[in-house]
Amino acid sequence: MAEVKENKMGVMPVNKLLISMAVPMMISMLVQALYNVVDSIFVARVGQDALTAVSLAFSIQNLMISIAVGTGVGVNAFLSKSLGEKDFKTVNKVANNSIFLALCTYVLFVILGLTIVKPYFLAQTDESIILNYGIDYLTVILCFSLGLLCQVCFERLLTSTGKTVLSMATQVTGAVINIILDPIFIFGYFGLPAMGVKGAAIATVIGQSIAALTGLTLNLKFNSEIKLNIKDMKPEGAIIKRIYEVGIPSIVMASISSIMVFALNKVLIGFTKTAVAVFGVYFKLQSFIFMPVFGLNNGMVPIIAYNYGARNKERIMKTIKYAMVYAFCIMLFGTILFESIPTVLLSLFKSNVEAENIAMMQIGVPALRIIATHFCVASICIIMGSTFQALGNAVYSLVVSVARQLVILVPAAFLLSLTGRLEMVWLAFPIAECMSLAVSSFFFKKNLKLLDFDKTKE
C-alpha cells in the first residue's frame, strides 16, 4: 500500500502555515465585508427607511448565517481532527453528511420565510414603508437561501483540508457577482425595472448560488482528500452527533448575536429610527475589521484541530500565539480608523435627504468612537473562543458569548438608556467586552489542560 503523504498542517513551519492558511481566508472575508458595505451603500441611496429595514432584518439573516457557519465549525473541527488521525473513512462520511445537513437547513428557512417575516417586523415597528421594505428583502433572503447554505458547506470542506485559496475563490466569486448585480437590480439598469430593496436581496441570493456551484466544482475537481457522492450523503446519527457536539454550541453562540441585535434595536428605536440605522451601519463598517480576524480564525481552527488529533502541543501553542498577535494588530488598526475618521466612514452611507445625513452624523460619530474602544480586547477573546472550538470545547465559547451579549451587554444598554442620553447606550459594548476577557481567560487556562499529552516532534 502506498504511503499516505503527510498533510501540510502537520509539517509546515507554524507561522508560514498560519499565514498560508489564513491570508486567503482573510482576503475572502474582506471581499465579503466589502460586499456588505457596498450593499448597504446602495440601499442607503434608496432612503434611510430602506437602510433601517435592512438593519432590522439583520437578526433573522444572522440566524441563518449562524446555523450555516456553526454547522461548518463542527464539520471543520471533526473533519480536520479525523484527517490528523488518518481516519479517511470518517473524513468522507463527515463531508457528505455536511451536505445533507445543508439541505435540511434550507427546508427550515423556506418555512420560516413563508410564515414569520411579517410578524417579525411588526414586533419592531409599525411604519408601513419600513415594513414593506423589510418584508420584501427578508422573504427573498430566506426562501432562496440554498445558495448561502451550500456555499458555506463547500467552503468549509475546502478549508478543513487546508485548501484555503480555493475557499477564497469561492467566496470572492459570490461577493463580486453580488457587488456587480446590486446597482443593476436596485436602480434598474440595462432595461431591468428598479426593484429597490428587493433588488438587493435578489442580487444577494444570485451571488450566493453561483458561489455554491463554484465551491462544489472546486471540491469535486481539486479536493482529493474527500470523496463526495450521493450514497455517502445518507445521514449517520453518530457522525451528525459528533458534528453538532461542536456545531450546536457554535450555532447558539452565533445566534445569540441575533437576540442581542433584536433587543438593542428595540432600545435604540425608542430614541429614533436613525439610531437603528447607525447601529446597522456600524455592523457593516466593523465587518471590515472583524471579518479578517474571523478569516484568521478559519485558517487557525483546522491547524489546531489537526495537531490536536496528531497530539502535537508545541504546534498548537505556536498557532495560538501567532494568531493572537495578528488579531491584535488588525483590531488596533481598526480602532485607529474608527477613532480618527468616523465622519468619512459614515459619509459612505448618505441618503438623498440632507436632514437624514445630518442626523446620521450627530448620532454616528460618537457611536463609532465609543464602540471602537473594545476592538483590541475583542481580538484576544475571539482567538480564545476559536481555540475552544478547535479543541472540541465550543461550550466554553457559548458560555462566554451568552454572558457577554445577553447577561451584560443588553441589560447594560437598557439601563444606560434610562439616562435619556443615546451616547451612553454605546458604552455597553466596552463594558461587556471587558467581562468577556475575564471569563475567556479563565476557560482558556482550563482548556490548556487538554494538551497535557506527550508531544511529538515538529
Sorting pLDDT into bands at 50, 70 and 90, what band is 350? confident
Cell of 186: 436596485
pLDDT value for 148? 92
Pinpoint the alpha helices (H) of 391-425: 394-402, 410-417, 422-425
Return all residues near 452 (Cβ < 8 A) that are at least 6 apart. Answer: 313
Determine what percent of the chain is predicted with pLDDT higher than 70.
96
Q: For residue 404, report the phi and psi dihedrals to the nearest 5 degrees.
A: -65, -50
* Mean pLDDT confidence for 383-411: 85
- Lowest mean pLDDT of 73-77, 249-253, 416-420, 431-435, name the range: 249-253
pLDDT value for 367? 95
* Mean pLDDT confidence for 178-182: 90
Question: Which pTM value belongs to this model?
Answer: 0.74
The 3-state secondary structure of 367-400, one letter per residue: HHHHHHHHHHHHHHHHHHHHHHHHCCCHHHHHHH
- 44 or 211, greater pLDDT: 211
Instruction: HSE, CB side, 13 Å, CA atoms: give it for residue 17.
Output: 24
Burial 37-59, CB ≥16 within 10 A → b, else e: bbbbbbbbbbbbbbbbbbbbbbb
Q: Is the pLDDT of residue 309 over 80?
A: no
pLDDT value for 453? 62
- Alpha-carbon dihedral sign for residues 159, 165, 170, 171: positive
**DSSP assignment of 84-107:** HTT-HHHHHHHHHHHHHHHHHHHH
pLDDT value for 3? 44
pLDDT (tens digit per residue) in 31-40: 777 777 777 8
Q: Is the pLDDT of residue 296 over 50?
A: yes
Closest-CA residue to 94 (of 77, 74, 75) = 75
- Lowest mean pLDDT of 170-179, 191-200, 253-262, name the range: 253-262
pLDDT (tens digit per residue) in 43-90: 888 888 888 888 888 888 888 888 898 888 888 778 877 877 777 787
pLDDT value for 37? 79
Domain ranges of the chain: 11-451
Mean pLDDT score of the chain: 86
Sorting pLDDT into bands at 50, 70 and 90, what band is 455? very low
pLDDT value for 458? 41
Cell of 29: 472575508
| Residue that is written with C-alpha cell 456551484 in the block | 213
Closest-CA residue to 297 (of 26, 81, 17, 94) = 26
Cell of 293: 480576524
pLDDT value for 456? 41
Q: What is the number of residues in the chain?
A: 458
Rg for the chain, CA atoms, rounded: 22
Q: Which amino acid is it at 209?
A: S
Question: Do the Cβ atoms of 226 and 78 come closer than 8 Å?
Answer: no
Q: Which amino acid is it at 445?
A: K
Q: Is the pLDDT of residue 2 over 60?
A: no
Sorting pLDDT into bands at 50, 70 and 90, what band is 371? very high
Return all residues near 319 (Cβ < 8 A) that are at least 6 apart. Answer: 14, 17, 18, 300, 303, 304, 307
Write the CA distances from 85 to 10, 88, 191, 306, 390, integer angstroms: 11, 8, 56, 8, 15
- Mean pLDDT: which of 15-19, 253-257, 324-328 is highest? 324-328
| Residue that is written with C-alpha cell 457587488 in the block | 179
pLDDT value for 136? 93
Q: For residue 452, report the phi and psi dihedrals to the nearest 5 degrees.
A: -85, 60
Q: Is the pLDDT of residue 7 over 70?
A: no
Sorting pLDDT into bands at 50, 70 and 90, what band is 391? confident
Coil, helix or strand at residue 455: coil
